[in-house]
Every structure is written in structure tokens, then in C-alpha cells.
Structure 1
Amino acid sequence: MIRPHHFGVTVTDLDRAVEFYRDTFGLDSVERFAVSGAAFAAGVGVEGATGRFAHFVLDGARIELVEYDPAGPAASESDVNQPGATHLGLAVDDLDAFYADLDPGVETISEPRTTESGTRILFVRDPDGTLIEVLEP
């Protein structure tokens, strides 16, 4: 049986990313840990890799932030419609209130919009450029 466990986001600075997700979305980091060793490096396919991790639990699934050493090259910033693009989707009860409370430094794609399906959406970027769709179903 398959069930969600986590959605991973690679970040350049774990502490900065934890602060962003905590402050922007009100999430509490429930677990922080580091992983290293030959099995980890072989498993992720990066020689000598170590990782620092932070997990946030959301309704039974986790958002996993990971900072790797050595860090790889930055992925090109992609638009949501490019093949291979990824994004996180997080639901809120009141998108307008969420938008009004956003720190002015948080990059947004547009103001909140209502789609043809009636869902209200807003895309923001985390400090590393990862797209996050904030929606009010």
C-alpha cells in the first residue's frame, strides 16, 4: 500500500529555509537531524555526501528540507509549466488573509486569483526559488 510520507526540497541554507517555512506558513519543525556515511552517499548518488534535514508534519505527510554537502549546482529557475518543474501545494482557509499577512520580502507570482474551477490560488517562492502554490479549495 502506497501512502504519502514526505515531499523533499533541497535548500542552500537549512536554517534560513526553516525560518522561511516557519514564519511564512506557521509551520513548526518537528524533527532536525543529519545523515552521512557511505550508504547515504551511495543512496543519493553523490560521493561523500552528507545532509542536514528538517521535517514539518502536515496532516500526516511531511515537508522535508535538506541541505547537502557538497552542494550541487543551482537548478535553473523554472516556470511551473516547464517539464520537470516541481512545486509544493499548501492549502489555507483564507487566501486573502494569508496574502495580506505575507512578509513584503516574499516573492509572489501574482495576487490571489480565482480559477475557473473556483479554487483560489497564489504562487510564492521560497528563498531558493522553489515554487509553492498556496490555495483555498
Structure 2
Amino acid sequence: MAVKNEGFSRANHVGIVVTNLDKSIAFYEALTGLKISNRDMIGGDRMAHVMGLDKTLIRYANLHLENLNIDLLEYEQPAPTVAKYDNNQISAMHLCFEVDDIQKAVERLKKAGIKLSGEPIVFQETDGLKNGYGTAVAYFDDPDGTHLEIIEPKGPFQRENTK
């Protein structure tokens, strides 16, 4: 008999609010090499209430990665506002994609016209880490400024294969 997961040991999805659903679908499909699995609209009083809003109407699309889903959300109601976060601001978040070869991933990003925030780095002892040397990272943003990262993990940054 399977034990139900009543804890918080798995993530299901990350939701990203976007200004233009079609443009964001094109970006995330190019980024991941995957196609969206679902596109729909949701809203109404019950949805607004559970979200703590007066009203809501959202156009959305779902993209299924191996271990996490990405929900792209374009709000029609209430009218969206733009949030601007720097990486060091409290409550700022980013989504990180794990890759096997960061150089190949960077080449792919550049070919797709995606500009990196800076060239990739490989963690060394001089970066203040006690472990994880050899881990490589690079950062970039989606069309709406959502902070994204790619990581080629080593040492404690590696997770057990969950397949």
C-alpha cells in the first residue's frame, strides 16, 4: 500500500505571471525544448476567493518538466501590475533549471537570443563555499523580467535521481 504524501517533500508547480501569454509560451518552449501540455482560462468568485482577490480571470498554460510544472498566468482580472525585484530583495524568487552541461546550455540560450545577466561561473574555494566546488551557474531573465538560473550541480547541490 502506498503511503500518501501529507508533508511538503515534493513541489508540483511554479506559477509565473506574464504580460503576454503567447510570447511567454514561445519563450518557455524555446528555453525547455518542450511544448505546453494545456492552455485554458479560469476565474470566477470561487477562484477569486481562494486567492484573496475580489475578482479574477486568468488565461494560462501549463508546461510539464520532468520534476516540476510551470504555470504561465496572464491575468485579465484584476488588471496586473508590474513587480520589480533585484536578486537581493526580500521575497524575490527565481526558478533554476538543472542542466548536464552548462556550456552547451549557454550556447543554446545564446542561439535562442536569450541574454545572460553575466557569463557563467564555476564555484571555487575563493567563492566562500565549503563544498560544491565545480558547480556551474548562470543567470538570465524571461521576457517579463522573471529571474531564471541554470545550474550544473556538483557535490551538495546534486539531488538524488527522483525518477
Fold shared, TM-score > 0.5 on shorter chain? yes
Secondary structure of 1:97's aligned partner? helix
Secondary structure of 2:48's aligned partner? helix
Query: Pick from 53, 62, 71: which aligns with 2:60?
Result: 53
Who is 1:89 aligned against? 96
Who is 2:32 aligned against? 25
- Structure with the largest fraction of strand: 1
Higher mean C-alpha deviation, range 124-133 or range 101-110: 101-110
Q: Write the deviation string for residues 100-134 of structure 1: whole angstroms up to 9, x where unpaired.
A: 12246423211111123221101110000001111
> Aligned ranges for residues 70-89 of structure 1 at < 5 Å?
70=77, 71-76=79-84, 78-89=85-96
Is it true that 1:123 corresponds to 2:131 in the alignment? no
- Using the alignment, how far apart are the partners of 2:17 and 2:49 within structure 1? 17
User: For this pair of structures, how many residues does the alignment match?
Assistant: 136
Who is 1:134 aligned against? 150
| One-letter amino acid of the counterpart of residue 35, structure 2 | D
Cα 1:33–1:104, aligned 2, differ >3 Å: closer, same or farther? Answer: closer
The Cα shift of 1:44 comes to 1.9
- Using the alignment, how far apart are the partners of 1:14 and 1:104 within structure 2? 18
Higher mean C-alpha deviation, range 102-111 or range 20-29: 102-111
RMSD between aligned residues: 1.5
Superposition misfits of 4+ residues, deviation over 4 angstroms: none
What TM-score do you get using the length of structure 1 for normalisation? 0.90
Q: Write the deviation string for residues 12-39 of structure 1: whole angstroms up to 9, x where unpaired.
A: 1111111001112212211112101110
Aligned-pair identity (%): 35
- Using the alignment, how far apart are the partners of 2:65 and 2:112 within structure 1? 25
Who is 2:18 aligned against? 11
Secondary structure of 1:24's aligned partner? helix
Q: Which is higher, the Rg of structure 1 or of structure 2?
A: 2
Contact 1:34 1:51 in 2 (8 A): yes
Is it true that 1:34 corresponds to 2:41 in the alignment? yes
Secondary structure of 1:4's aligned partner? coil
Which runs of 5 or more residues in structure 2 are unaligned? 1-5, 125-131, 154-163
